[in-house]
Amino acid sequence: MYFTEKQLRIMEFIQQFRTERGISPTLEEIAKNFGVTKITIYEHINQLERKGAIKREKFRARSIEILVPVEHRATRYSLPLMGNLREGLPIEATQDREDLNLTDLIPVGKKCYALRVRGDSMADDHITDGDYVIVEKREEVLNGETVVAVLENGEATVKKFFRDKSRIRIQSCNGSLKSIFPKTAEIRGVVVGVLRRFSAEQPMEPVVST
């Protein structure tokens, strides 16, 4: 039985709520947890009910019951780690099974989002055209961090950020490009990871330039 990620998260919340409090959450409580409207949750609950994943009684606010096992989030974002790879040598197989939890590498939550990159101005920092950057929403930035910034002309860009004594410096990581010194720069977040998909498919419309 297939469930969307949103449906899995809702079932996971319901199960945790029931375990901790001994009762099911109301639609209002579920909506508040996910920051959406009650109508949105109502639609998801109806879909889950049609799939046979949950059941509920009419006219009872706390009657949601889960009928299928809910897979723990960590197992949904993990891959088997088969061993270590050293260039020119056979693969070193691990003695015991080990899983690589992708959420340890890619933060998953409300404070993070992804952008597709267009351009190679950050190539020396291993961010190239078509890559996806994982961005943490925050305004406080340390010198040298890679940020998503909106410049005074409205252009969004990924660059190294520096605040000198009296000015802002936005620096490319490409030896052929010079730094720029905008009067203002609105920081939309800090890059905490990079994803690269090796595929013949061409990326769709770019979201942010470097």
**Residue 45 CA: distances (Å) to CA of 10, 62, 112, 184:** 8, 13, 26, 46
Q: Is 4 exposed, middle or buried (0-12, 13-18, 19+ CB in 10 A)?
A: exposed
DSSP 3-state percent helix, strand, coil across the chain (nearest 5): 25, 30, 45
How far is it, in rounded angstroms, from Cα 74 to Cα 103? 7
Name the residue among 20, 23, 21, 64 with its Cα closest to residue 42: 64
Q: Is 10 exposed, middle or buried (0-12, 13-18, 19+ CB in 10 A)?
A: buried
Per the CB < 8 A criterion, the answer to whether 185 and 161 are in contact is yes
Question: What are the residue numbers of the active site?
Answer: 121, 159
Residue 79 amino acid letter:
L
